[in-house]
Amino acid sequence: MKRRSLMAWRLMVLSFLAVPTVLQAQSEEQDPAVLTVATWGGAYEDSQRRAYFEPFTEATGIEIETVHYDGGIEVLREQLESGDSEWDVIDMIQSDASAACMEGLLEPIDPDILTPAPDGTPAQEDFMEGAIHRCFITQIVFSTVIAFDDRAFPGVKPDSVEDFFNLEAFPGKRALRKSPVGLLEWALLSLSVPREQLYDLLSTRRGLDLASQRLDDIRDAIIWWTSGDEPVELLTSGEAAMATGYNGRFFHARAMEGAPISVIWDGQLIGFNSWSILRGTDQADLSEDFIAFATRAENMAAQANLISYGPARKSAQRRVGLHTDAGVPMRPYMPTAPSHMGTAVVRDHHWYSQTVDLREQWFREWLDR
């Protein structure tokens, strides 16, 4: 009882404190303030617009502008070098955020800005383990999965990572992201390496060579994509028979647009997206206000009811229900649904953040071979 009332009191104080800062921010600058968020476009960005950006503007009067971002940290370095970056908040993959943090590309984030769960549970306990970091706040669980064009396989349907590499039984083009992300894991998974040992084996020269050899098997069938909305287009247009991509995009295409796309959950690669703030922005406080707003349980749940990415806090997970427009139950489409977790690979973001250059080099060498 005592703890709860204390929490309520703190909340009240917080809300009183928050309002003046926001007002101040507005009154100091003559033009209406604009916050620039770098994010991933497509159905994913639409869901963010409805769940976060529009409600934020409504509550504070601050406009949100988005710029397109396709991952990686090279582009952050470029932004900083250009000297007149407009970027404030970036929606980053956790391993990228971690690497960027170590390079000093990000502003620190005060964990006290995070609101407690509606039932008073402190944010530290409500968020997933490791979600609250000095430089980033992890917000969603997403998954990179293999999907296929149902029309391409009228008979037996592919259902495993191995099938992705089997051009004989399942002919057709394979669309892959042009980046050393996921390729390595799938190559070894298709050789029945257990997921527990993936990153240990990939840490050896032999493991990388083995992945190269495996990818050679499908080299001529590969179509590369870079932006997250391309895989859906490649599948629906019939250009590719199978494609890797983000589970939420595939869900959206299937459930909202009726595209003939099926997802193979085997070997899904689970990753995390995090909010972070580009170093040197003059709107750091405002950026924190936005992150505090976007990570409130009800807002996170609102996004999850638009696109099938799992919220990174428990109180939000419990609020996931039917799709806001289509009325489809969302839980079975979440990457974290129990039936999909049996063979899921949780991306080792520590390994990823430490092997950026090595993976890039491996990928270039393989492409040039």
Partner 1 sequence: MDKGGVPQIVYQIGMVTVVAIAVGAAASLAAIGFVDAVHYLNERLLISPYARIQADDRPGLVAAATLLVPTVGGLVVGLVVHFLVREKRGLAPPDAILAAQTSSPAPGLRSSLASTLAALVSLGSGASVGQYGPLVYLGAMFGNLAGRLRLNLRHQRSIAIACGVAAAISTAFNAPIAGLVFAHEVILRHYSLRAFAPVTVAAATGYVIANVIFDRPPLFLVNFGSVEHSYEFVFFALEGVLCAGLAWGFMLLLRFSDKAARYYIAPVWARPAAAGLIVGLVALWIPEVLGIGQETLRFATIEGAFGIGELALIIVAKLALTALCVGFGFVGGVFSPALLIGILFGAFYGLVLPYIAPVPHSGLVVYAICGMMALASSVIGAPLTTILIVFELTRSYDLTIAAMVAVVFANLISYRVIGRSLFDLQLRARGFDLSLGRDKAILETYRIRAYLSDNVTTADEGETIGDVRQRLIDDHRSEAMILNGGGKLLGVVRLQGIVNSQASIPVLEKAIPAYTTFNEDTSVWQSMEMLRGFLGEAVPLVDRNGRLMGVVPEEAVIRAYLEIVHDLREEENEAA
List contacts with partner 1 (CB under 8 A): 191-194, 196-197, 199-201, 203-204, 206-207, 210, 213, 351, 354-355, 357-358
Q: How far apart are CA 351 and CA 337, in angstroms?
A: 25
Q: How far apart are CA 358 and CA 36, in angstroms?
A: 32
235 and 175 Cβ atoms separated by less than 8 Å:
yes
Minimum distance, C-beta of residue 314 to partner 1, in the bound complex (Å): 20
Q: How far apart are CA 290 and CA 285, in angstroms?
A: 9
Within 8 A by CB and 6+ apart from 68, the residues are 38, 39, 40, 41, 227
Q: How far, in Å, are 52, 56, 141, 157 from residue 303 at the CA level?
A: 8, 13, 12, 31
| Residue 137 vs 181, nearer CB to partner 1 | 181
- DSSP-derived 3-state class of residue 335: coil
Angular region, 367: left φ>0, alpha ψ -120 to 50, beta rest: alpha
Q: How far, in Å, are 2, 192, 229 from residue 162 at the CA level?
A: 56, 8, 24
Minimum distance, C-beta of residue 28 to partner 1, in the bound complex (Å): 44
Pairing relation of β-strands 242-246 and 63-68? unpaired
Minimum distance, C-beta of residue 189 to partner 1, in the bound complex (Å): 11
| Residue 115 vs 353, nearer CB to partner 1 | 353
Within 8 A by CB and 6+ apart from 253, the residues are 43, 232, 235, 236, 259, 261
Minimum distance, C-beta of residue 200 to partner 1, in the bound complex (Å): 5
| Residue 71 vs 207, nearer CB to partner 1 | 207
> Would you give the end-to-end CA distance of the chain in angstroms?
66
The enclosing H or E element of 189 equals helix 183-189
Minimum distance, C-beta of residue 210 to partner 1, in the bound complex (Å): 5
Minimum distance, C-beta of residue 207 to partner 1, in the bound complex (Å): 7
| Residue 142 vs 362, nearer CB to partner 1 | 362
Minimum distance, C-beta of residue 289 to partner 1, in the bound complex (Å): 36
User: Tokens for 368?
Assistant: 């040039």
| Residue 31 vs 357, nearer CB to partner 1 | 357
| Residue 4 vs 364, nearer CB to partner 1 | 364
| Residue 244 vs 353, nearer CB to partner 1 | 353
| Residue 236 vs 354, nearer CB to partner 1 | 354
* CB atoms near residue 352 (< 10 Å): 20
Minimum distance, C-beta of residue 202 to partner 1, in the bound complex (Å): 8
